[in-house]
Amino acid sequence: MQFRENKAIYLQIAEYIGENILLEKWKPDDKVSSVRELAITLEVNPNTVMRTYEMLQSKGVIYNKRGIGFFVAEDAVMEVRQMKKETFIDEELPVLFRNMYLLQIDFKELETKYNQFIQKNF
């Protein structure tokens, strides 16, 4: 995983986990990697992964079975989608709108590109 400098690593790990949940690679009640396993895989400090897991647990995305590990929560898809939607609307959409305005891209052109992207990738 390539980390970006403009965002905290634990948040980028949370995005990685969230994407796997949204893509249904990890389903409700699936066990997620242990803190140590994920830290080794991503080449980060275990404390960083633990911080990610604690944040995701507080948001209802994962839950802990004491002595067994962390698992994907039943409502994880809904929770991840809501978190990502809020981030997108608050942080990314204003940048997109500014660029659309500066480049004179209208919504019709954007809709065409969006539909092409969906057909190609999904």
Segment 48-74, tens digit of pLDDT: 999 999 999 999 999 999 999 999 999
User: What are the φ and ψ backbone dihedral angles of 112, each rounded to 5 degrees?
Assistant: -60, -45
For 9-76, CATH gives: 1.10.10.10
Segment 72-107, tens digit of pLDDT: 999 999 999 999 999 999 999 999 999 999 999 999
| 3-state SS, residue 70 | strand
| Residue 62 host element (H or E) | strand 62-65
pTM here? 0.81
